[in-house]
Amino acid sequence: MDFDFELVGKIGSMALIDREDGIIDYTRVARISRELRPGCIWVSSGATEIGRLDFMQRTGRELTGEHAKTDYSAQGQAILMQTYRQFIDPAYSVRQVLVEHHHFNDERKSEHLKGLLLRCREQNAIPIVNYNDAVSSEENRRMEILALMHDKKRVFECVDNDETASRIACLVRARRLVILTSVDGICLNPDDPATLVKSISGKDAYELVQNIEEYKKYCVGASRAGANGARAKLEYVKDAAAQGTEVYIANAKYSIAAVLAGSVPCTKIGIDLK
Phi, psi of 260 (to 5 degrees): -65, -30
pLDDT band at 145 (very low <50, low <70, confident <90, very high): low
pLDDT at 19: 84
pLDDT digits (tens, 9 = 90+) for 10-33: 999 989 998 888 889 999 999 999
Confidence check: pLDDT of 227 > 60? no
pLDDT at 199: 96
b/e for 26-61, b at 16 or more Cβ within 10 A? eebbebbbebbebbbbbbbbbbbbbbbbbbeeeeee
CATH number of 5-271: 3.40.1160.10
pLDDT band at 138 (very low <50, low <70, confident <90, very high): low
The stretch 167-171 carries a mean pLDDT of 96
pLDDT digits (tens, 9 = 90+) for 53-97: 999 999 999 999 989 999 999 999 999 999 999 999 999 999 999
Distance CA 177, CA 165 (A): 8
pLDDT band at 191 (very low <50, low <70, confident <90, very high): confident
pLDDT at 7: 97
Lowest mean pLDDT, pick from 135-139, 207-211, 252-256: 135-139
Confidence check: pLDDT of 226 > 50? no
Element (H, E) at 112: helix 107-122
End-to-end CA distance of the chain: 15
Confidence check: pLDDT of 237 > 80? yes
Lowest mean pLDDT, pick from 51-55, 201-205, 212-216, 223-227: 223-227
Confidence check: pLDDT of 114 > 80? yes
pLDDT band at 225 (very low <50, low <70, confident <90, very high): very low
Domain locations in the chain? Answer: 5-271
Distance CA 196, CA 183 (A): 10
pLDDT at 156: 74
The stretch 206-210 carries a mean pLDDT of 97
The pTM (predicted TM-score) of the whole model is 0.91
- Which residues, 6 or more positions from 25, have their beta carbon under 8 angstroms from its beta carbon? 15, 16, 17, 18
Lowest mean pLDDT, pick from 11-25, 109-123, 130-144, 221-235: 221-235
Distance CA 68, CA 72 (A): 6
Distance CA 83, CA 99 (A): 20
